[in-house]
Amino acid sequence: MEYALIAIVLILAYILGSIPSGLIVGKVFYGKDIRQFGSGNLGATNTFRTLGKRAGIVVTLVDILKGTLAVLLPVIFDLEIHSLIAGVIAVIGHMFPLFAGFRGGKAVATSGGVLLGYDPILFILLVVVFLVSLKISKYVSLSSIIAGIFAVIYTLFRGDIPLIIVVVALASFVIIRHKENLKRIRDKTEPKVKWI
């Protein structure tokens, strides 16, 4: 029974991560499929660029919440598995969503949500690092990568082995998903944000 419940919770975590908030907000409230605009990505950054600040903020918050709720699922069901496992599954769902042809976001907001549910202080520090980097560089992609690297360094000093493993995995997801952005930064064709 325990193993069956664990499987159900992990499936729920994936389904939760698969909720394409950018696609839903775009289609329901703006009549747009954001995959047809900007970078074609379903994440918050493309939502900001395509639909504006209000939609971008909503999608960011929903994507964060997906990760946080996933981390809480094993706690809610009192399961003998590490809560971060469900969080990672939700991030995979966000990157490869069942409901959007397995073409999803770049793992930043949902990864942040996972860390919010597990280590709120780390989440707050990451938000600060991200915003400072964004203020200086104007690149969301670069700021996301810098925040990921900071998270790895921070967790190495914590001594929490499961957290270290998961943060290294999440940071790797973020870096890999932003490879094209790094090339565009190098070529000076990556769009800069103007609101900060």
Q: Which of 75, 79, 89 is nearest to 5 (CA)?
A: 79
Closest by CA position to 97, among listed 84, 110, 85, 80: 110
Judge if pTM exceeds 0.75: yes
pLDDT per position in the chain (196 positions), as tens?
Answer: 689 999 999 999 999 999 999 999 999 999 999 999 988 888 899 999 899 999 999 999 999 999 999 999 999 999 989 999 999 999 999 999 999 999 999 999 999 999 999 999 999 999 999 999 999 999 999 999 999 999 999 999 988 999 999 999 999 999 999 999 999 999 999 989 887 7
Of 177, 143, 17, the residue nearest 88 (C-alpha): 17
